[in-house]
Structure 1
């Protein structure tokens, strides 16, 4: 019986050191990023960031993972635009959504979008963890915002985001 106890302790230690330890759910993570919209397309025009103006967003959020496969995310994104020597906060985006782990560090986020400027829509996002440490991880993401409303034509944007999760 004593040797069985020692074997159990050895297996427990080995499982912790080799990553077989079970993560407890729900699991809560936070993150902060920098978002650069690259191009925005509507039926009236195509706008390129970095050409005539500079726009940047700062996504900040909390992810609540129900399991290793699915979770909920709550994100707020203040957006700043600099143009013709002037800059201002142009919009604050409320961005809740569902998270689906795709494996190999990839995650799909399907987000609803509600902007303080009166626009609304949805944002599919593909996210990839590129560096994972014990206390944080670094990620890149490609969001595809689709927006409607506020007497403007529908738009489709492609962006690039990078950030840190903890």
Structure 2
């Protein structure tokens, strides 16, 4: 009886908040980040960041998602090197690539790499959205740059990156 009475009076019940709108494709997002190369290995051994010098990069990019599963990304990364009391832009990286949505907020980026230092190569990147916001998402990533050229031995680096997607 109370239910019928409530229906006649237009009672308001707690509702589940509306779910975010389903994105339409193609879809473009931008991002900014901070990159810390951690360790580089080549035929001469290994070298770690934070020991005799400090290198930090600032990835700036656009992702164009063609579908929910696949997209294209272009990224530019200025890298600053601080050593012996001075700092400078040591390198700028042009980093186009293909994005693959792995589900559960994981993305794989397979990138080509072209550096102003003369080095080139590929960079597989494993990315995870760690926090969803109303207008921004926060991510962490592990890039593994593999580089060739410029009369230096082939090298592989592991890094840590974090940032925001908007």
Same fold by TM-score, threshold 0.5 exceeded? yes
Q: Could you tell me which residue of structure 2 aligns to residue 18 of structure 1?
A: 19
Q: Could you tell me which residue of structure 2 aligns to residue 69 of structure 1?
A: 69
Number of positions where the alignment pairs a residue of Structure 1 with one of Structure 2: 151
Q: Could you tell me which residue of structure 2 aligns to residue 140 of structure 1?
A: 140
Q: Could you tell me which residue of structure 1 aligns to residue 103 of structure 2?
A: 103
Which 5+ residue runs of structure 1 have no aligned equivalent?
A: 1-13
Q: Could you tell me which residue of structure 1 aligns to residue 87 of structure 2?
A: 87
1:58 aligns with 2:58: yes
Q: Distance in 2 between matches of 1:129 and 1:139?
A: 4
Q: Distance in 1 between matches of 2:80 and 2:156?
A: 19
Larger Rg: 2
Q: Distance in 2 between matches of 1:72 and 1:51?
A: 35
Structure 1 residue 45: Cα displacement: 2.7
Q: Find runs of 4+ consecutive structure 1 residues off by over 2 angstroms.
A: none
Q: Could you tell me which residue of structure 2 aligns to residue 161 of structure 1?
A: 161
Structure 1 residue 22: Cα displacement: 3.2
Greater helix fraction, Structure 1 or Structure 2: 1
1:112 aligns with 2:112: yes
Q: Distance in 1 between matches of 2:138 and 2:18?
A: 23
Q: Distance in 2 between matches of 1:95 and 1:118?
A: 14
1:129 aligns with 2:99: no
1:44 aligns with 2:44: yes
Give the alignment's TM-score, normalised by structure 1: 0.88
- Report the 3-state secondary structure (helix = DSSP H, G, I; strand = E; otherwise coil) of the residue aligned with 1:123: strand
Give the alignment's TM-score, normalised by structure 2: 0.88
- Report the 3-state secondary structure (helix = DSSP H, G, I; strand = E; otherwise coil) of the residue aligned with 1:17: coil
